[in-house]
Amino acid sequence: MTFWTVGAVVGSAVIGASASGKAAKSQAAAAGQAADFEREMFERNIELNAPFREAGVNALNKLIPLTDYKDFGMSEFLAGPGYSFRLS
């Protein structure tokens, strides 16, 4: 191998390492920007849906007194006829 060949190989390796480092930094920056943009979209969706969520909560609070609504827990589930039927 000649001096020029060795120099070309070493130079090529240095250039390749530098390029891959720059590419990695660029990719990391793009991933960070994408994550920031997704967070902005999420927060905007929360903001846009807030009136509909509030309307639903208010409607539910008005409907509950008009019904025979009661909390349904595990004891009610176990006492139900459907549970004992499924066990038999």
Residue 58 lies in a domain: yes
Residue 9 lies in a domain: no
State mean pLDDT over 20-38.
89
Residue 2 lies in a domain: no
Tell me which residue range forms the domain holding 59: 25-87
* Calpha distance 85→88 (Å, rounded): 5
Residue 44 lies in a domain: yes
* Calpha distance 74→70 (Å, rounded): 13
What pLDDT is attached to residue 48?
96
What pLDDT is attached to residue 6?
60
Residue 8 lies in a domain: no
Number of domains in the chain: 1
pLDDT over 80 at 7, yes or no: no
State the Rg of the chain over Cα: 32
Residue 1 lies in a domain: no
Confidence band (pLDDT; 50, 70, 90) for 38?
A: very high
Residue 17 lies in a domain: no
Residue 51 lies in a domain: yes
